[in-house]
A and B are shown apart, each in its own frame.
Chain A
Amino acid sequence: MDIRNVIIIGSGPAGWTAAIYAARADLKPLIFEGNEPGGQLMTTTDVENFPGFVNGVMGPELMGVMRDQAKRFQTEIISAHVTSVDFSQQPLKVTVGEKDYFAKSVIISTGATARRLGLESEKQLYGKGVSACATCDGFFFKGKKVIIVGGGDSAMEEAMFLTRFAEVTIVHRRDAFRASKIMQERVMANPKITIIWNSAVDEILGVDVGHVTGVRLKDTVTGETREMAIDGVFASIGHEPNVSLFKDVLDLDEKGYLKTVPGTSKTNIPGVFAAGDVQDSHYRQAITAAGSGCMAALDAEKYLAGL
């Protein structure tokens, strides 16, 4: 049986940073890239707040160089999605389809995934006007009308991006945004963006014709509904941690994120560590994910040294 020192699950900033640190500590890490290699940054454009990039950097480019850096120190990379884990005994077992991998320690950096509106019509019209990626699909809405649902920084960023192509309306369920002040100011000052407060998407219209034709909005105060003709729907309403592999295995916090011992990356199982958005409902930044990936690698190194 081939038992590795450390397996890393997930390839966002947390996973790659853990890989770089573990590889430089000569732990010969193996990383599984997962279904969405590079994670959430792959669907962003300019990242302006990652230190070291004076003029900003494109999300996919940042993830590309992190991957190259991990590779340079002989990280073993497998482009596959982990299907199950067994942490009930040592060595820890990580399974991909039919194949089992074993390790003395595991770092979980599976990140978080964008939340959907949760409507049946949203599912049916996905790829037909309902989009999960503004940077991928904005192009197809040239000269059209789109709405973006949400009130956080990423909603503001996506709205700004979409104005390159389309007429944009932000639909938000409250009467104020929780986005940072700088992003709010940019949005408010943009003449191509209209804001509809106190409203939620009740239904996406167009299932009968096979593409989005509009939305039915519901006023969150009065409960009144009205229809609005639009061509595209983008949702930016937060994220959910990717914990399905670990639900009955590891402790979760009250918000459903992996629980770690404060100030460390340790989970409730010795040798299993967590880093990045999967264990962070609060900061959720590329740089904090990277920082916690470093913590996890150092924690794993120390754990392995004590075995």
Chain B
Amino acid sequence: MEHTFTDQNFQKEVLESEIPVFVDFWAPWCGPCRLMGPVIEQLADELDGSKIKIGKCNVDDNAAMAMKFGIMSIPTMLVFKGGQVAETMVGAVQKDALKAKLEKHF
């Protein structure tokens, strides 16, 4: 299941997570972000939730986190491991390519 990350729960859900966390920073007015939306929902269902947490963070509503991680383009997708950014992807990507990248973090 897909998670929703916010300024409020980011610390606990992402930075203090025991397993890797994939965060898609997006906004509803961004065309490429809207394309990624369903892809991320599908991956959240397909990948093992006990190995990686997958979710989105709306930059419109959660400006503090977007600022904290220096987001200047969306979609920007970050993989967090142990509270640190382990991978950065900017721009829309194909589902298969994204899946392969995420599986490497298991």
Size of interface on B: residues with Cβ below 8 Å to A? 25
> Which listed segment binds A: B4-12, B14-22, B26-34, B47-55?
B26-34
Within 8 A of A (CB), among B46-76: 59-60, 66, 70-76
Interface: B82 (CB within 8 A): no
- The answer to whether A129 and B32 touch across the interface, beta carbons within 8 angstroms, is no
Interface: A135 (CB within 8 A): yes
Instruction: Specify which of A35, A126, A141, A232 is in contact with B90 (CB 8 Å cutoff).
Output: A126
Contact with B along A252-271 (1 / 0, CB 8 A): 00000000000000000000
Interface: A303 (CB within 8 A): no
Identify whether the interface residues of A are mostly helix, strand, loop, or mixed. loop
> Which listed segment binds B: A37-45, A69-77, A85-93?
A37-45
- The answer to whether B72 and A211 touch across the interface, beta carbons within 8 angstroms, is yes
Interface: A56 (CB within 8 A): no
- The answer to whether A80 and B94 touch across the interface, beta carbons within 8 angstroms, is yes
Within 8 A of B (CB), among A23-55: 35-38, 42-44
A81 vs B94: C-alpha distance when bound (angstroms): 8
Identify whether the interface residues of B are mostly helix, strand, loop, or mixed. loop
What residues of chain B lie closer than 8 Å to A133, measured between beta carbons?
A: 30-32, 73
Contact with A along B81-93 (1 / 0, CB 8 A): 0000000101110
- The answer to whether B74 and A136 touch across the interface, beta carbons within 8 angstroms, is yes
The bracket for how many chain A residues form the interface is: 20 to 34
Within 8 A of B (CB), among A205-260: 210-211, 232
Given contacts A79-B95, A127-B90, contact A42 B70 (CB under 8 A): no
Instruction: Specify which of B30, B60, B70 is in contact with A136 (CB 8 Å cutoff).
Output: B30
A154 to nearest B CB, angstroms? 15
What residues of chain A lie closer than 8 Å to B34, measured between beta carbons?
A: 60
Interface: A153 (CB within 8 A): no
What residues of chain B lie closer than 8 Å to A132, measured between beta carbons?
A: 73, 91
Instruction: Specify which of A36, A38, A80, A140 is in contact with B72 (CB 8 Å cutoff).
Output: A140
Interface: A194 (CB within 8 A): no
- Kindly report which residue of chain B lies nearest to residue A142, judged by CB atoms: B63
B4 to nearest A CB, angstroms? 20
- Kindly report which residue of chain B lies nearest to residue A137, judged by CB atoms: B73
> A: which residues have CB within 8 A of B?
35-38, 42-44, 59-60, 79-81, 97, 126-129, 131-133, 135-137, 139-141, 210-211, 232
Complex A-B: 25 CB contacts under 8 Å: A36-B32, A38-B35, A42-B35, A43-B31, A43-B32, A44-B31, A97-B96, A127-B88, A127-B91, A128-B72, A131-B72, A131-B73, A132-B91, A133-B73, A135-B30, A136-B32, A136-B33, A137-B73, A140-B72, A140-B73, A140-B74, A141-B72, A210-B70, A211-B70, A211-B72
